[in-house]
Amino acid sequence: MNRTNRRKFAGSAAGIAAAMAAGMPSARAASERFAAPAVIARQDGPVEVVFSNIWGTPPGGDEPENEHPVELLIDAFNEQSTDVKVTGRNEGGGYYEGLQKLQAELAAGNPPALCITPWNSINWADEGLGIVNLEEVAGDEVAEVFSVLREQVVPLVQVDGLTKGVPFAFSTPVVYYNADILAEAGVDAETLFSSWTGFAEEAPKVQEAIDGNPVFGFLGDMQWTAQSLIQNNGGFVMNDDLRPVMNSPEAIAAMETIAALDREGLYDRSTASERRASFTAGSTACWIGSIASLGGLRTNVTFDLQTSTFPPFLDKPRNMSSGGSFIGMYAREEEQQQAAWEFLKFALSEEGYAIWMQTGYLNATTFDLPTLEGQEAAYTQLEEGLTRETPWPGARGGELLQIWQDYVARIWANDISAEDGCNEAVEEINAVIG
């Protein structure tokens, strides 16, 4: 499994430029084949580009007091651009729902020019969605623009040496907790999150302070946090040959850990939106999710919000997963592609990325940008080393992810035993892979 730590992650900009120019010959050869980027032709008005993402306000949603950084980024680009206008679009839901909608729009011939694409779906995007290679649009300029990125980030968006998008969101799961509730319960956070054993022993005390409510819940993409849980116990979700191995004894035992907490009434098995809402309202004490949620949570809660590293298993080191997404290009017309590339360049400029960093995501660039209070837990995990988020194989990668996602939810809600659920997941996934 590929691992990244802070020392590797902090590689120089010169290093990545050299890697793209010399260490990745297929990418270099491709860029030499492609013509220089075309100049956007003047027309009656700016070229309009749609950027489909998961962060802005969805249709019918309440306008937040503060705009999300992705909307601020789009606004900043539009203010300085005369030839291109970007419109952000969030249809609601998560990454998987967004890619499903994209797939339907591609079939209908009207895809958004840009769509946020999780790293775990890069094979699906490449083989099933026809994502555009950036070298075909921008030639040698790709290496120049990417020179500001950390050395270990670029391979996450490449397949066979060709660049499938702009690295944008880099994260890892952490524990968010309500320090006021823990203080009322007389529970020390360091003890509570020292291990899953420590959590099981201390969580009932926390539950008493919140009138018997569940103590913790996960973000909606539970298969992602399940990956870290399983790896922390010495197992893996997929092996290096991209075959499912989530039915190993280590993986089954890890999955059973959460199921056991559910049987004690400590786990919140409600919907993803309800779990987060319960935490922000102070009904539950902990929420395990991406460090990227830090900025939004700080604006949504009135209690003392703190973060912790992910609980390990006793006597075993943490082996956490990275996570996040890149901006993929799906425009089919050259004018749309060139306009979309202008926005991608701005997103990776120091001005643009500084706006984006207000989210809480980890800094994927070499820019010296301030960190947010509460990011320490995420950077601790980065220092320990992060493995790559599971890159589900093939054009049906999204289907494979969803199979495992469904089993994770069922196991943790005790709808199926950990052993049966993990074994059945392997059977179903292998049947799809063939």
231 and 105, same structural domain? no
- Identify the pLDDT of residue 5: 63
208 and 311, same structural domain? yes
Pairing status of strand 47-52 against strand 114-118? parallel
244 and 129, same structural domain? no
Instruction: Count CA within 13 A, CB hemisphere, residue 153.
Output: 30
178 and 102, same structural domain? no
- Identify the pLDDT of residue 11: 47
Q: What is the mean pLDDT of residues 43-71?
A: 82
Q: Poorest-confidence range of 89-98, 201-210, 224-233, 346-355?
A: 89-98
CATH number at residue 129: 3.40.190.10
Residue 107: phi and psi, rounded to 5, are -65, -30
Q: What is the mean pLDDT of residues 383-397?
A: 88
pLDDT band (50, 70, 90) for residue 63: confident
Chain centroid to Cα 157, Å, comes to 13
Q: How far apart are CA 109 and CA 106, in angstroms?
A: 5
- Length of the chain measured in residues: 434
Q: How far apart are CA 354 and CA 245, in angstroms?
A: 39
10, two tokens: 């902090």
Q: How far apart are CA 132 and CA 51, in angstroms?
A: 15
Kindly tell me if the per-residue pLDDT of 231 is higher than 90: yes
Kindly tell me if the per-residue pLDDT of 267 is higher than 80: yes
Q: Which domain holds residue 179?
A: 173-321+396-433
Which amino acid is located at 139 in the chain? G
- Identify the pLDDT of residue 18: 41
Give the DSSP letter string of 229-275.
Answer: HHHHTT--SB-TTS-B-TTSHHHHHHHHHHHHHHHTT-B--S-HHHH
Task: Answer yes or no: are the C-beta atoms of 104 and 131 closer than 8 Å.
Answer: no
63 and 188, same structural domain? no
- Identify the pLDDT of residue 15: 42
Burial class (CB in 10 A: 0-12, 13-18, 19+), 142: buried
Kindly tell me if the per-residue pLDDT of 143 is higher than 90: yes
Q: How far apart are CA 120 and CA 13, in angstroms?
A: 25
- Identify the pLDDT of residue 1: 57
Q: How far apart are CA 418 and CA 412, in angstroms?
A: 8
pLDDT digits (tens, 9 = 90+) for 77-135: 999 999 999 999 997 778 888 999 999 999 999 999 999 999 989 999 999 999 999 99
18, two tokens: 């050299």
- Identify the pLDDT of residue 6: 56
Q: What is the mean pLDDT of residues 182-204?
A: 98
138 and 272, same structural domain? no
Q: What is the mean pLDDT of residues 391-419?
A: 95
Q: How far apart are CA 333 and CA 356, in angstroms?
A: 28
425 and 277, same structural domain? yes
Q: What is the mean pLDDT of residues 398-411?
A: 96
Q: Can you name the residues that pair with 162 across neighbouring β-strands?
A: 159
Q: What is the mean pLDDT of residues 232-255?
A: 97
pLDDT band (50, 70, 90) for residue 150: confident
- Identify the pLDDT of residue 9: 54
pLDDT digits (tens, 9 = 90+) for 83-97: 999 999 997 778 888
218 and 181, same structural domain? yes
Kindly tell me if the per-residue pLDDT of 380 is higher than 60: yes
Pairing status of strand 114-118 against strand 216-218? unpaired
Higher-confidence residue of 406 and 364: namely: 406
Task: Answer yes or no: are the C-beta atoms of 306 and 315 closer than 8 Å.
Answer: no
259 and 244, same structural domain? yes
pLDDT band (50, 70, 90) for residue 2: low
pLDDT band (50, 70, 90) for residue 7: low
Q: How far apart are CA 401 and CA 387, in angstroms?
A: 17
pLDDT band (50, 70, 90) for residue 387: confident
Q: Can you name the residues that pair with 178 across neighbouring β-strands?
A: 305
Higher-confidence residue of 62 and 270: namely: 270
Q: Can you name the residues that pair with 244 across neighbouring β-strands?
A: 238
Task: Answer yes or no: are the C-beta atoms of 247 and 423 closer than 8 Å.
Answer: yes
pLDDT digits (tens, 9 = 90+) for 270-281: 999 999 999 999
Kindly tell me if the per-residue pLDDT of 52 is higher than 70: yes
Pairing status of strand 3-4 against strand 386-387? antiparallel
> How many domains are there within the chain?
2
Q: What is the mean pLDDT of residues 331-346?
A: 98
Residue 36: phi and psi, rounded to 5, are -65, 155
- Identify the pLDDT of residue 31: 35
Q: What is the mean pLDDT of residues 210-217?
A: 97
Q: How many CB atoms lie within 10 A of CB 104?
A: 11
Could you identify the residue written with the tokens 């980024």? Answer: 73
pLDDT band (50, 70, 90) for residue 4: low
Q: Poorest-confidence range of 115-129, 224-238, 334-348?
A: 115-129
42, two tokens: 């003047």
Chain centroid to Cα 379, Å, comes to 15
Angle at which helix 222-232 crosses helix 397-412, to 10 degrees, equals 70
28 and 137, same structural domain? yes
Average pLDDT, the chain: 89
255 and 111, same structural domain? no
372 and 402, same structural domain? no
Kindly tell me if the per-residue pLDDT of 33 is higher than 60: no
DSSP one-letter code for 420 = H
